[in-house]
Every structure is written in C-alpha cells, then in structure tokens.
Amino acid sequence: MAMKLHEYQAKQVFADAGIPTPASELASDVDGAVAAAEEIGYPVAIKAQVQVGGRGKAGGIKLVEDEDEAREAADEILGMDLKGYHVDRVLVEEAVDFTNELYVGITMDRGEGKPVAMVSTKGGVNIEEVAEEDPDAIAREHIDPAFGMHPYQARKAVYDAGVDQSIARDVSSVLTTLYQLWDDRDGSDAEINPLMVTSDDEVIAADAVMNIDEDALFRQPELAEMEEEAAGGDELEQKADEYDFDYVRLDGNVGIIGNGAGLVMTTLDLVDHYGGEPANFLDVGGGAKAERIANALDMVFSDDNVDSVVFNIFGGITRGDEVARGINEALEQFDEIPKPVVVRLAGTNWEEGMEILNEDLVTVEQTLEDAVQRAVEYAGEVNE
C-alpha cells in the first residue's frame, strides 16, 4: 500500500531536492489565500489539496487574475466536497506561462520487478490515457535497482521521448533527481505532470505526485510525519487507518470481515454470487487477537449502509478461540445487536472458537457458502 503525499508536500520534497517548482503557499481560509496571492503576485492558481485525481475538471483548481477573483475562487474551493473529500486547504501558486507540457515519472514495474523511468512530451493530460491510446508516446527505461539510474539512462529516456534538445539536459537532470528521490524516499510512484516548459526554455514542476511505500515508512520518519497531515478520506477510512486495517468502502449492504486479502475478496465475490452486495472489504490480517476482532466489528457497524455482517475466518496463525472471544466482547456490550452477524470459523482452533462463541449473539454456519448465503438473506430481509 502506498501513502500519498499532498501536492504541497510533494512539491516541498521535490523543491528541497533541487527540482524547480513554482512559488506557492498553503492556505486554509479565504483571507490567507488572498494574502498568499498578493505576496506571490497575480495571476495565481488556487488548487484544492485533496487526494483525488481530476481535480481540475471537478472545479478544484482555478486560475485567478486579481483579488476579487482570488477571493471568489478560494471561497468556492475551500469547504467544497470533491469526489467525497472535504477540501480544507488550498495551495496558492504562481501561474506559470508555458509553451509545452511534459510528463516525467518513476514507478515500480511489478512485472519486471524493477523500477521504470518514463518520459513523454504528452504531459498535462491523464497519462494513463496516453499509455492506453498511444503507448509509444511514453519512453520507458528500466532501472537496475542495484546500480540505480545511470546518467545515460536519463538522457536516453529523454531523447527517446523526443524532448527538444534545448531542454534535454534540464529534463534529464529533473528525471535523475526524481529517481534519486524515489530511491532515497522509498517511493512507489514519483511523478511530475505536467513538467512545464517556459518560453525561455526553463522547466518547472507544475504538479507533483509522490507516493511512498507504507511498508518503508519506518525508515522515512520525515515522511511518516507528513502522513499525519496527509491523512484524509472519509470518516470510515480514517477509522480504518487508526485501527490499521486494510479497508475499502463499497456500495452494498453486506458487511464483510475476514483474514487474508484473497479470502476476503473471495467472500465479496460469493456475496455477489449469491445475489447480495458487499458493503466493504475488511482484512484483519494474520494473527489477529480478540481486541482487533472487536475493532473490526466496530468499524463495520459504524457504516450506516451495512445491514448484515459476515465474519469469515480461516485460521492459520489466526486462532479461532481469539476470534470468538473478540466477537463476544464486541457484541456483549450491546443491549440489542445492531445488525445480524453470521460467523464461519475454520482452521486453527476452530472447535475451541465454536465453543466460546455466544450463539445467542451470532448465527453460526459451518461452510463459507452457507455463511455468505445467510448474510445475504439477512441483508435482504432488512431491505424489504
């Protein structure tokens, strides 16, 4: 999983490494945004700081020419709901006069098991679309992770992409720095889109994406601090962060809890197979103890869309008795169980778990298929 930096954070990281970025300032209220715009000098762009793609099209980025426009734009953007994300900060940024927009990026090519550097002269648009419609427009250079990126590789990617010779050296240098950052900071993706080219052949990073490998945050204390600030998403996702669950919210009404991503996904698929609609993906991971199980139930109960819950645990390192204890704990606090819970336990200590489980509080099923069918049935009953 990747931790996404906000644009303003990524730009700071890039600027610190020597990549040219526009002058900018973060603001969390309208007056602050206007003051920042005055300081930077018009025209400026006012950009919503939320972790969603396509901010521009959704109205989250406005170019303004004077104070009135700035005030209006800041007022509009601050507080808006952008694809489900609340905007509470904007980046006020020098508007760059550009003649051309490039794309440069580094990511891990999982098929090859090695990093890949990418350059395209078709920047400024959705690069995934370019990749699909005109794959040759993106030059790709795989990097040997033991050696790192050789300077000739940066040049090769840049020349292969057809970047003009007048800026080739600068773009190579940005790409080299970007790889260095990606490597030093345990990046999963590092992108500049667009890398703007000005009329006097300067390049400048007009947007910045930096996603960090969460598994490596332990050795990136500076970035881990940024994560606090970057944390966003809706209430449930924030709760999942807090509880440290792999959680994805979906549109249905059958809540799903299980151990192991593959098994949880399979449970989702079975809910669908039996005519239900999954409300979420929630993986408690390996070796979950009672408290963690209780937290998982708390999470799913907090989702108003959920009408029934299926608990599917196949014990390996996770022990059935611990799971049962957690379920009991979570449910015993209620006078009335808020949503019906179906439990299926298998694997390590499942018999002990069955004995511990308070069958007054939950419905027990022996097989995955039966458990899912029962939960779908419950959810349907509620909906009727």
Query: Residues in the site for a copy of itself, rule: CB under 8 A?
Result: 144, 146-147
Stretch that binds another protein, among 12-20, 86-94, 257-265, 298-306 (CB under 8 A): 257-265
Q: Report the partner that residue 266 touches, choosing among another protein, a copy of itself, none (CB closer than 5 to 8 A by kind).
A: another protein
Token couple for 13: 């990281």
Binding positions for another protein, 189-248, rule CB under 8 A: 213, 215-216, 218-219, 246, 248
Stretch that binds another protein, among 94-102, 117-125, 139-147, 297-305 (CB under 8 A): 139-147
Using DSSP, state whether 363 is helix, strand or coil.
Answer: strand
Q: Which of 208, 368, 371, 375 binds another protein (CB under 8 A)?
A: 368
Q: Is 259 in the site for another protein (CB under 8 A)?
A: yes
136 burial class (0-12, 13-18, 19+ CB within 10 angstroms)? exposed
Q: Which DSSP state fits 313?
A: E
Length of the chain: 384
Q: Name the phi and psi angles at 78, rounded to 5.
A: -65, 125
Q: Report the partner that residue 83 touches, choosing among another protein, a copy of itself, none (CB closer than 5 to 8 A by kind).
A: none
Distances (CA, A) of 339 to 82, 221, 243, 298: 31, 41, 21, 11
Strand order in the sheet with 246-249: 246-249, 280-283, 254-258, 308-315, 341-347, 363-364
In terms of CB distance, is 262 or 335 closer to another protein?
262
| Residues pairing with 45 in the sheet | 63, 93
- 91 touches 44 (CB < 8 A): no
Q: Is 159 a catalytic residue?
A: no
Min dist CB 182 to another protein, Å, is 9
One-letter amino acid identity for 334?
F
- 51 touches 233 (CB < 8 A): yes
- 50 touches 232 (CB < 8 A): yes
Q: Is 118 in the site for another protein (CB under 8 A)?
A: no
Alpha helices in 201-319, H assignment, sequence order: 221-230, 235-243, 261-273, 290-302
Q: Is 111 in the site for another protein (CB under 8 A)?
A: yes
> Which listed residue (191, 322, 365, 377) is catalytic?
191
Min dist CB 170 to a copy of itself, Å, is 21
The span from the first CA to the last CA of the chain, in angstroms, equals: 38
Q: Is 191 a catalytic residue?
A: yes
Number of residues in contact with another protein under rule CB under 8 A: 65
Q: Is 283 in the site for another protein (CB under 8 A)?
A: yes
CA gap 60, 78 in Å, rounded: 9
Token couple for 70: 């700035």
CA angle 313, 3, 158 (to 5 degrees): 130
Q: Confirm or deny that 101 is annotated as ligand binding.
A: yes
Q: Is 264 in the site for another protein (CB under 8 A)?
A: yes
Q: Is 255 in the site for another protein (CB under 8 A)?
A: no
Q: List residues near another protein by CB under 8 A.
A: 1, 108, 110-111, 113-115, 128, 131-132, 144-147, 150-153, 155-156, 159-160, 165, 168-169, 183, 186, 188, 213, 215-216, 218-219, 246, 248, 250, 258-266, 268-273, 278, 281, 283, 285-286, 314-317, 346-348, 368-369
Pick out the residues of the known binding site for substrate. 259, 316-318
Pick out the residues of the known binding site for Mg(2+). 193, 207
Report the catalytic residues.
103, 191
